[in-house]
């Protein structure tokens, strides 16, 4: 690890995501190409092969990560917002690898050591972002992060697009609700929020090779994530993993999978303001 501060166990899960993106980028027919993912894994001194890739559960998580990345790429670009906020951004490089309209500003929030590690690797590669990029070291469990985001230049009066990729499962229900409530307070009507439908942790297979991930899961708002958002000022659309696999020409091998992705649009109250 090249950063002076060690990454926390949850922060290190970003390296698992980078492995998935490096794996997909190396395929002859990739759904996306992340030219930086392999460099993150190498800088951390890890093997490029996704962990536990031989188990059925690991294969499902691998497919989930690949399809999720492409889906969020597509939906963020289609959101029509010039403010994009990546919550717990980890080793996300969308500010660099996606084509953004002129004037787009990408805000990346995560813990300081994660952002420092990412900056070291990207600087060593001479990478340049395709949008105005603002990194903000922040603990999303600290209620002061919204005011710090505004101080960094985010405008709550304008439409925005928010991404909480692979985040809520690492939070308790109370923490997830507090985070989404804070997002709602910053999201103008018409803003978009992308995240996963919560998992039922009681159905998580016991796979020792993946315990470094699943052992950290807290469940977030669980399978009721969409319903919670619908009741708190958002209108949601749910896309299942199976449907997504079909749409991208990557049929998912387990048709009974319940994993799904949510795109939520912030509603306006009758008076024109966003609903609480």
pLDDT higher than 80, residue 4: no
User: Chain-wide mean pLDDT for the chain?
Assistant: 91
Fold for 53-266, please state it.
Rossmann fold (3.40.50)
Q: What pLDDT shows up at residue 69?
A: 98
What's the mean pLDDT in 41-63? 80
The residues that bridge with 109 in the sheet, in sequence order, are 87, 136
Sequence spans of domains, the chain: 53-266
Q: What is the SS3 assignment for 253?
A: coil
Q: What pLDDT shows up at residue 177?
A: 98
Q: What pLDDT shows up at residue 198?
A: 84
Where are the strands (E) in 88-189, listed by range?
A: 105-110, 132-137, 161-164
Q: What pLDDT shows up at residue 207?
A: 81
> What's the farthest any 2 CA atoms get from each other in the chain?
55
Instruction: Specify the long-range contacts of residues 113-117, CB closer than 8 Å, at least 24 apart.
Output: 113/3, 113/5, 113/6, 113/7, 113/8, 113/11, 114/7, 114/11, 114/14, 114/89, 114/90, 115/89, 116/3, 116/4, 116/5, 117/1, 117/2, 117/3, 117/7, 117/40, 117/43, 117/44, 117/91
pLDDT tens sequence across 214-264: 889 999 999 999 999 999 999 999 999 989 999 999 987 765 566 899 999
Q: Higher pLDDT residue, 273 or 80?
A: 80
Q: Higher pLDDT residue, 40 or 7?
A: 40
Given CA atoms 200, 246, 231, 186 in this order, what sign does their dihedral have? positive
pLDDT tens sequence across 107-159: 999 999 999 999 999 999 999 999 999 999 999 999 999 999 999 999 999 99
Q: What pLDDT shows up at residue 204?
A: 83
């Amino acid at each position: 690890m090249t950063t002076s501060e060690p990454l926390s166990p949850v922060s290190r899960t970003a390296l698992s995501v980078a492995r998935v993106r490096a794996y997909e980028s190396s395929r002859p027919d990739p759904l996306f190409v992340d030219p930086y993912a392999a460099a993150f894994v190498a800088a951390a001194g890890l093997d490029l092969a996704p962990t536990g890739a031989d188990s059925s559960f690991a294969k499902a998580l691998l497919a989930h990560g690949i399809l999720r990345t492409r889906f969020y790429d597509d939906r963020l670009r289609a959101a029509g917002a010039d403010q994009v906020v990546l919550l717990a951004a980890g080793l996300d490089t969308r500010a660099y690898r996606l084509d953004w309209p002129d004037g787009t500003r990408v805000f990346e929030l995560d813990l300081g050591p994660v952002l420092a590690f990412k900056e070291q690797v990207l600087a060593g590669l001479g990478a340049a972002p395709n949008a105005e990029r603002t990194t903000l070291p922040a603990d999303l469990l600290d209620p002061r992060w919204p005011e710090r985001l505004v101080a960094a230049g985010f405008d709550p009066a304008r439409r925005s697009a928010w991404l909480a990729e692979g985040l809520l499962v690492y939070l308790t229900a109370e923490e997830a609700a507090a985070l989404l409530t804070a997002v709602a307070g910053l999201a103008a009507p018409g803003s978009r929020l992308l995240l996963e439908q919560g998992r039922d942790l009681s159905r998580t297979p016991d796979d020792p090779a993946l315990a470094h991930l699943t052992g950290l899961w807290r469940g977030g708002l669980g399978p009721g994530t969409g319903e919670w958002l619908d009741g708190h000022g958002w209108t949601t659309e749910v896309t299942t993993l199976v449907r997504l696999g079909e749409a991208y020409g990557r049929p998912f091998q387990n048709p009974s999978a319940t994993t799904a992705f949510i795109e939520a649009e912030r509603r306006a109250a009758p008076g024109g303001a966003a609903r609480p």
